[in-house]
Amino acid sequence: MYKKILFPTCLTEFCGHVFDFALRTAMEEKAKLWIFYGLGRVAFPEDELLKEIKKAEKRVVEEYGERMKAKGFRDYVINVTDGDVVSEIVKLARNAAIDVIIMGTGTKPPIVTGETARVAPLGQTTAQVLLWSPCPILVVPPSLVPGLAR
Amino acid sequence: MKVLWPNDLSKCSEGAIPYVRSFAKHYDAEVHVLYVMHDLSKHGSWYGEFDRKTIEKLQRWEEKKAREKQEQLCKKYFEDCKKFEKHIRIGDPATEILKFIEAQQIDAVVMCRKGEAGMFKMGSVAERVVRNAPVPVVTVPSKNGAGEQ
């Protein structure tokens, strides 16, 4: 169904839960997983920027590498760039002909207080990517996160 | 697995059909097709008082047309699916979709990013469903969407 999945992350705890969902989907679908981390708009000199990108790549590997290795998943690409995060996600989705982007509703851990409680509004990045994405987006709600299940 | 395809029976919302079909095929899922009609009786009497009977007649006419259109769509696209169900509800579309998800224990929602009245990049119904749904929602960009220009 999906052959190329893009998972943009900001390496927060909630993103980790969404990553598990993305990884499971990628394994079920036998799809290639793009993990994207955006540095945002930074004004570093080129050599320093390269260092920052390397550092960020290392952080992504530290965060998700082990989990993928444990499940024997190897078909992934880590993409770290600077620049406006939303534009970079949309650009990557278009250039790599991504089939689906998997994102959480936001990055802050949501607070759920009861059955009918609704969670905080969509995060800025998700809301903007929803508007501009050239491909379908699968938004994972906080209620799918272990401990917050319905 | 249960997949919900909420739609407003417009060309735009049909953009989600390939994704609904692939969900159904891949996960052997039940497809639920939902159309929500506006509750005309809740409208204020902006242009003078309407006769109650006229409103009921209009509502019945809309329901009949919606059933016909749903029938056509399901016959055309979901005939080969294991199981599909058609539903019509009356009320506020986003609220009814969210209620339906809870009531039917839906596992995933696939919907178009904007509906027929979509002069904005994202429809208000899609936005409210994405914000509040307790299950994953796949939003599909419409063919003339900004993201595809």
pLDDT tops 60 at residue B117: no
The letter for the amino acid at B10 is S
Query: Is residue B39 very low, low, confident or very high in pLDDT (cuts 50, 70, 90)?
Result: confident
CB contact under 8 A, B26 and A1: yes
- Tokens 């970079």 sit on residue: A88
Query: Fold for domain B2-148?
Result: Rossmann fold (3.40.50)
CA-CA distance, A142 to A134, in Å (whole number)? Answer: 24
Chosen for mutation from B3, B101, B111, B139 (greatest number of chain A CBs closer than 10 Å) is B139
pTM equals 0.82
CB contact under 8 A, B139 and A136: yes
Tens-place pLDDT, residues B78-99:
888 778 899 999 998 889 999 9
> A124-132 and A85-95 helices cross at what angle (nearest 10)?
40
Q: What angle do CA B94, B97, B100 make, to 5 degrees?
A: 150
Write phi, then psi, for B103 (nearest 5 degrees).
-65, -40
Look at residue B127 and give its three-state secondary structure.
helix
Question: For A140, which of B23, B113, B136 is closest by C-beta distance?
Answer: B136
Tell me what pLDDT residue B64 has: 93
Check if A83 contacts B (Cβ < 8 Å).
Answer: no
Check if B18 contacts A (Cβ < 8 Å).
Answer: no
pLDDT tops 90 at residue B11: no
Mean pLDDT by 10 residues, chain A (150 residues): 90 86 91 93 88 93 92 92 93 94 75 49 84 91 62
* DSSP assigned state of B4: E
Closest CA in chain A for residue B148: A134
The domain spans of chain A are: 4-124+133-144
Tell me what pLDDT residue B148 has: 41
pLDDT tops 50 at residue B49: yes
Query: Fold for domain A4-124+133-144?
Result: Rossmann fold (3.40.50)
- Among B101, B127, B97, smallest CA distance to B112 is for B127
End-to-end CA distance of chain B: 34
Average pLDDT over residues B23-42: 86
